[in-house]
Chain A
Amino acid sequence: MNASRRWLEDFLKRPLETRELVGKLVMLGAPVDAVEALHAGLGEIRVALVESVAPHPNADRLRVCEVNDGSATVKHVVCGAPNVTAGRKYPFAAVGATVPHGKGGAPMRLERAKIRGEVSEGMLCSARELGLGQDHDGILELETDATPGTPLLDAIPLADERLVIDVGPNRPDLLGHKGLARELAAAYNVPFRLPQIPGAERFDVPPPRRAGTTGNAGNVRIELQDLVGCRRFHAAFIRDVKIGPSPSWLAQRLEAVGVRSISNVVDATNYVMLELNQPMHAFDAARLRGQTIVVRRAAAGETSLVTLDNTARTLDGEMTLITDGGGPIGLAGIMGGASSEVGPETTDVLLEAAWWQPSGIRRTRRRLGMSTDASYRFERGIDLWAGADAMRRCIELVLVTAGGELIDAPLDLWPEPTHPPRIFLRPSRVTQVLGVELSWHEIERCLLAIGATVVSKPDDGRIAVDVPAWRPDLRQEIDLVEEVARIHGYENIPIELRPARVGSLPDAPVEVAASGVRRGLAGLGLLEVSTLPLVPGGGPDSVRLLNPPSATEPWLRRELLPSLVQQAQVNWSHHVRDVRLFEIGTVFEVRPGARPLETRHVAAVVTGAREPAHWSGTGRTDFDRWDLAGLFEAAVALANPGAVVQVEGSAWVAVNSDGRTVGRAEPIDTEGPPWAAPVLGLEVEVDAAPRRHVRYRALPSTPAAERDLALVIPDGIVASRVRQTLEEAAGPLLVGLDVLDEYRGAGLPSGVRSAMFRLTFRAPDRTLRDQEIDEVERHVLAVLERELGARRREAAPSSSPGRVP
């Protein structure tokens, strides 16, 4: 909503300081997004008196004027305007001043010039050059008592600010200057009055004639058929108007709020809308077919309507139309039709001020994909009782600006009259919600300020409040509590920490689990990333979106890893080779007949150097699959501690206690620049179950003994099998097992590999003797040979001295 400071000043009858005004509006709940100074470029233009006018010696169409601009010397000015007259005052730009709209429309700084041999020391300006209108036939004659040299902006009421106000969907009343003025009157604690229309005092518009569903305005018969879509319809018929430009005060009012001035009658309807928030329409009565207007729903299959913007609109049976004998002439509450548009030849006009059903307007507006100033207001809900005043105001404006004669009193079709709603307010409820006890007088003051009528004293603990009809958002007690808080002032409610009970819920387990995973992976040197859950590809169990923000990404992700791999590629495109990313996020899976299954996942991707390169030589190796395996092991332990890591094909997977796969890790095949390192990725489901606490195990009090065992293992026997066999054979004395190296090739027959296992033995209650360990070792070797065909490698070191791990 654009508002003009001057317009508001006219309501409040006092000057408003812009900064203070903006502050008041903000604290009333109508934040100002922008303040645009209007005519700011006129600061250097002054009022000047033309003292004499003489013909230009070298040009027939130019004059040489002597101009008093209030300075010590009289200025010689060459002027081409036919209307320049001695003894009159005009806007004057001296040498050095800037004219806002010079040649070509751009600001122009004036210099001393010689025009056809005559010196010119400035310029007398036209309305167009000053941005005050389109008129450039002559210079702008000023009707002012101001002495020469007075700044133009002080002499005529031009300086204004346009406030761009962010009006919430609950406050349609603030879409008109009157509504804003009402709020401001409360904030400034001053009265407010509708400004006088210059010249309107000559006319006395009679009160409206109330009727039901049909009535006449002039010679036009009006009938309401769609009583749901239209609850009230005001009409007036004015004969013999003369369509022409609006007077400058009216045009400037509209232009101050960014509305183009079109003609006196159209401007009158717009003015009323911007002032009273009642959208209006003017029909050219002579162009109505059959002298009848019917308000009805569109018939199925009805032909389209060409609206004022010269666009053909396709209608459907739920749209409310204004029709004449020949068919639709307006989309109710949205836009009039081209066929009955007011034009230069119009002499008789039919004015309309109606109340249209908000949800119907909204539906039609959305169906047709068009929004107008009128539909914006109707769909938010306007005052059902405002039409009569708006109609009177509009009639006055037309009579003042376009002449003509009002035929009959305005018609007011109101088939089902109602009363504005009444709400009961308990002061005790105000105290309960606001936490402060306000006096009855303060509550009443606040309610009166918004235009409510307070109809009883709080005898039975409640107040009956008739709410103003321009506030469709006020429907129940809590709405009044808010109004009391707002007008009393949020800033006047204390900031005071009072006793409160803490909540009874614990933190959500999945958040606790996710935090642990996040800290763990960050601790492993990975950077957390957050990608969009909307992805380009999906499968049969993926969730598809009806209206995705991007047509190329219509699916909700099933997994995180592809997005992370894509991020690795983005880094490559920045010539960053070392990438270590992880993400924790939701993935979605279709469940027929139910909301999709949402699961929290964690995924990670690593590629490039295992550690930062250092001059000493470290950091020259890249992450490989064994790093991935370790990372996966850690991620599974963090995210899904009940799951076990297994090998599946060329990947590792994590399988939980139900036998379900909950994680996967493998090298990723992806396109990359030649210098890129292999990409390794993993993804694990985050189990929300509370983590088990660590149980302390007694620290060993006896020394451990280590034996390194070099084994020759036939191909096909995997390490985990060796491990299992070895652990079983060694029994409880074996407390640790690791692989020190693996070897294939020279010195070994084909079909085998050798691996060095380090076995750590310990008895909890005694120091193990060598013979005891030798015995276990012999047994282990025998079992390995028998069950796996694995033998000790010749010439391998038998044992190393007991090193405590």
Chain B
Amino acid sequence: MADPTGSSELDALRARVERIPSLDAAQLEAEHIALLGRRQGTITELLKRLPELPLEQRKDFGAKVNQLKVRADALIAERRAALETERRGRSDRVDLTMPPRRRWVGAEHPVTRVIDELLGIFRELGFAVAVGPEVETEWLNFGALNFPPDHPAMDLHDTIYLDAPPIEEKPHGGRLLLRTHTSPVQIRVMLASKPPIRVVIPGMCYRNDPFDPSHAPAFQQIEGLAVDEGISFVDLKATLTQFARRFFGPATKVRFRPSFFPFTEPSAEMDVECQLCHGSGCPACKGTGWMEILGSGMVHPHVIENGGLDPEQYTGFAWGMGPHRIALLRYGVPDIRLFYEGDMRFLGQFVPGRAAGWAGDRTPA
């Protein structure tokens, strides 16, 4: 190995250092390590070995190597800065306003979103999700729910029957139909479990209504049921008011007014302040300032009894609402039929975090 202190070696090293400004980014980093790396950098090594040299040589040579190190440091820093400027300069030529590359983003159905939000609120209020079959017997859909046989109340439920013979089933069989409401699940839950019962029941229901902008022959309903000792109309009002304020906003005004359902008594319709005019009256609320959101009531003693419970001991409240209707309201959709179509242009509007900007997104949502 040649004497590292030789001036030719040092000259070669100096020349190498002076070439630093011509290096590209990768070469620069490699050269940094090669020259100044803490372990095996050429200059580092020279500095490390200084103590081994005789004193008179050490002074002069040490000063030169040190100069070289200072020079290399400076050139490397300078070159790095220059390369960075150059890089940035290049990226300035990239037009960052060009359209981004996107992914297909999926979405849950707008009605599902509403249902999930509703279920979420009721879960917070201590209710669990229950379900039941869509084909029911006449008994469970009507009789068990205190519809008197052959009563005008049934006219409100244009029932779709199955082309099938009646069936035997406990506690009562009968003709098969597509359930007109989720209320039969009330009976099923009561028969299958003991109070305290707090369930919320989503599901498809059917009525023989032709399609029009606000009606569909099949529609989602959300039913709720709370049965326990000591449950009263006060609890009904408080729970549903809590719901309304969580769903529509904390300052939402609500009102309960008398209504009629065979399976609840007293029955109450809950209205919330019209979401469009906030109570001043508009065509959407027919000038009343209120919008009907759900039907509710104290569970009729006959229904509690048909659920296998003692109506003297247990009381309860129940309610039902239409997520389709709420979705119409919430999203300003003019026609319920849109919810039954797989129109990508419609469903795509409900993609979470949908960006505004390029292409296609210019249509006002």
Q: Which residues in A have some Cβ–Cβ distance to B below 8 Å?
A: 22, 26-29, 31, 33-34, 168-171, 359, 362-363, 379-380, 432-436, 476, 478-479, 481-482, 485-486, 490-491, 493-498, 500-508, 510-512, 515, 518-519, 521-534, 543-550, 554, 556, 564, 567-568, 570-571, 574, 576, 578-582, 585-586, 588, 590, 593-596, 598, 611-612, 614-616, 618-619
A359 to B167, CA, bound (A): 25
Contact present for A527 and B106 (CB under 8 Å) = yes
A568 to B342, CA, bound (A): 7
Q: Which residue of chain A has the shortest Cβ distance to B111 in the bound complex?
A: A530
Shortest 10 CB-CB contacts between residues of A and residues of B = A435-B232, A567-B342, A29-B258, A503-B198, A435-B234, A525-B104, A168-B260, A522-B106, A502-B126, A482-B266
A-B CB contacts (within 8 Å), total count: 287
Whole-angstrom distance between the Cβ of B151 and the nearest chain A Cβ: 7
Contact present for B232 and A434 (CB under 8 Å) = yes
A-B contacts, 12 listed (Cβ < 8 Å): A169-B260, A491-B256, A497-B242, A503-B128, A529-B342, A531-B340, A571-B343, A578-B344, A581-B342, A581-B344, A596-B164, A615-B98
7 other A-B residue contacts (CB within 8 Å) besides A533-B204, A611-B104: A482-B266, A503-B128, A507-B128, A508-B131, A512-B129, A528-B109, A554-B163
Contact present for A433 and B233 (CB under 8 Å) = yes
A618 to B100, CA, bound (A): 11
Q: Choose, from B19-27, B28-36, B68-76, B132-140, the stretch at the interface.
A: B132-140
Contact present for B210 and A616 (CB under 8 Å) = no
Q: Which residue of chain A has the shortest Cβ distance to B153 in the bound complex?
A: A169
**Cβ proximity bits B213-243 to A, threshold 8 Å, 1 near / 0 not:** 0001110000000101011111101110110
**Which residues of B sit under 8 angstroms from A502, Cβ to Cβ?**
126, 196, 198
**Cβ proximity bits B29-73 to A, threshold 8 Å, 1 near / 0 not:** 000000000000000000000000000000000000000000000
Contact present for B340 and A530 (CB under 8 Å) = yes
Contact of A500 among B193, B228, B237 (CB under 8 A): B228
A504 to B341, CA, bound (A): 38
Contact present for A169 and B343 (CB under 8 Å) = no
Determine whether B347 belongs to the interface, using a CB cutoff of 8 Å to chain A.
yes
A511-B106 contact, Cβ under 8 Å, with A529-B347, A547-B208, A615-B99: no
A524-B106 contact, Cβ under 8 Å, with A478-B265, A507-B129, A567-B341: yes
A544-B162 contact, Cβ under 8 Å, with A478-B300, A532-B217, A567-B341: yes
Contact of B260 among A29, A528, A543, A556 (CB under 8 A): A29
Contact present for A485 and B131 (CB under 8 Å) = no
A654 to B356, CA, bound (A): 40
Contact present for B268 and A490 (CB under 8 Å) = yes
Whole-angstrom distance between the Cβ of B87 and the nearest chain A Cβ: 21
A571 to B344, CA, bound (A): 7
**Cβ proximity bits B177-217 to A, threshold 8 Å, 1 near / 0 not:** 01000000000010001101111001010001111000011
Contact present for B234 and A496 (CB under 8 Å) = yes
A380 to B156, CA, bound (A): 14
A498-B233 contact, Cβ under 8 Å, with A503-B198, A528-B108: no
Contact present for B196 and A570 (CB under 8 Å) = no
Contact present for A490 and B256 (CB under 8 Å) = yes
Q: Which residue of chain B has the shortest Cβ distance to A510 in the bound complex?
A: B131
Contact present for B202 and A511 (CB under 8 Å) = yes
A435-B133 contact, Cβ under 8 Å, with A478-B301, A564-B342, A580-B106: no
Whole-angstrom distance between the Cβ of B349 and the nearest chain A Cβ: 10
Q: Which residues in B have some Cβ–Cβ distance to A below 8 Å?
A: 98-99, 101-109, 111-112, 116, 123, 126-131, 133-137, 149-153, 155-156, 160-165, 167-169, 176, 178, 189, 193-194, 196-199, 202, 204, 208-211, 216-218, 226, 228, 230-235, 237-239, 241-242, 255-260, 265-269, 286, 288, 298, 300-301, 315, 339-345, 347-348, 350-351
A77 to B197, CA, bound (A): 79
Contact present for A505 and B135 (CB under 8 Å) = no
Contact present for B160 and A545 (CB under 8 Å) = yes
A532-B150 contact, Cβ under 8 Å, with A478-B300, A494-B234, A526-B106: no
**Which residues of B sit under 8 angstroms from A614, Cβ to Cβ?**
99, 101-102
A638 to B349, CA, bound (A): 25
A313 to B268, CA, bound (A): 41
**Which residues of B sit under 8 angstroms from A554, Cβ to Cβ?**
163
Contact of A598 among B104, B133, B196, B351 (CB under 8 A): B133
Contact of B126 among A478, A503, A521 (CB under 8 A): A503
Contact present for B130 and A508 (CB under 8 Å) = yes
Contact of A362 among B131, B150, B242, B257 (CB under 8 A): B150
Contact of B112 among A168, A362, A528, A616 (CB under 8 A): A528
A546-B162 contact, Cβ under 8 Å, with A503-B128, A574-B345: yes
Whole-angstrom distance between the Cβ of A559 and the nearest chain B Cβ: 16
**Which residues of A sit under 8 angstroms from B210, Cβ to Cβ?**
549-550
Whole-angstrom distance between the Cβ of B170 and the nearest chain A Cβ: 12
Q: Which residue of chain B has the shortest Cβ distance to A548 in the bound complex?
A: B160
Whole-angstrom distance between the Cβ of A277 and the nearest chain B Cβ: 15
Contact present for A528 and B153 (CB under 8 Å) = no
Q: Which residue of chain A has the shortest Cβ distance to B287 in the bound complex?
A: A35
**Which residues of B sit under 8 angstroms from A519, Cβ to Cβ?**
108
Contact present for B135 and A547 (CB under 8 Å) = no
Contact present for A588 and B218 (CB under 8 Å) = no
Contact of B167 among A524, A564, A595 (CB under 8 A): A595
A27 to B256, CA, bound (A): 8
A504-B196 contact, Cβ under 8 Å, with A31-B257, A170-B153, A490-B268: yes
Contact present for A485 and B266 (CB under 8 Å) = yes
**Which residues of B sit under 8 angstroms from A432, Cβ to Cβ?**
230, 232, 315
**Which residues of B sit under 8 angstroms from A486, Cβ to Cβ?**
258, 266
Whole-angstrom distance between the Cβ of A713 and the nearest chain B Cβ: 35
Contact of B106 among A169, A521, A532 (CB under 8 A): A521
**Which residues of A sit under 8 angstroms from B109, Cβ to Cβ?**
527-530
Q: Which of A496, A546, A571, A614 has the most C-beta atoms of chain B within 10 angstroms of its own C-beta? A: A546
Contact present for B237 and A494 (CB under 8 Å) = yes
A228 to B149, CA, bound (A): 17
Contact present for B208 and A525 (CB under 8 Å) = no
**Which residues of B sit under 8 angstroms from A495, Cβ to Cβ?**
234, 237-238, 241
Contact present for A525 and B265 (CB under 8 Å) = no
Whole-angstrom distance between the Cβ of A624 and the nearest chain B Cβ: 15
**Which residues of B sit under 8 angstroms from A503, Cβ to Cβ?**
126-128, 196-199, 226
A518 to B260, CA, bound (A): 37
A380 to B148, CA, bound (A): 12
Contact present for B163 and A545 (CB under 8 Å) = yes
Q: Which residue of chain B has the shortest Cβ distance to A494 in the bound complex?
A: B234
**Which residues of A sit under 8 angstroms from B197, Cβ to Cβ?**
503-505
Contact of B162 among A543, A578, A615 (CB under 8 A): A543
Contact of A570 among B165, B241, B343 (CB under 8 A): B343
Contact present for B104 and A612 (CB under 8 Å) = yes
Q: Which residue of chain A has the shortest Cβ distance to B347 in the bound complex?
A: A527
Whole-angstrom distance between the Cβ of B161 and the nearest chain A Cβ: 4
Contact present for B339 and A530 (CB under 8 Å) = yes
Whole-angstrom distance between the Cβ of A686 and the nearest chain B Cβ: 12
Contact present for B135 and A598 (CB under 8 Å) = yes
A578 to B267, CA, bound (A): 49
Whole-angstrom distance between the Cβ of A576 and the nearest chain B Cβ: 5
Contact present for A511 and B131 (CB under 8 Å) = yes
Contact of A595 among B111, B133, B156, B315 (CB under 8 A): B133
Q: Which residue of chain B has the shortest Cβ distance to A432 in the bound complex?
A: B315
Whole-angstrom distance between the Cβ of A621 and the nearest chain B Cβ: 13
Whole-angstrom distance between the Cβ of B215 and the nearest chain A Cβ: 10
A571-B242 contact, Cβ under 8 Å, with A31-B257, A168-B259, A169-B155: no
**Which residues of A sit under 8 angstroms from B193, Cβ to Cβ?**
504-505
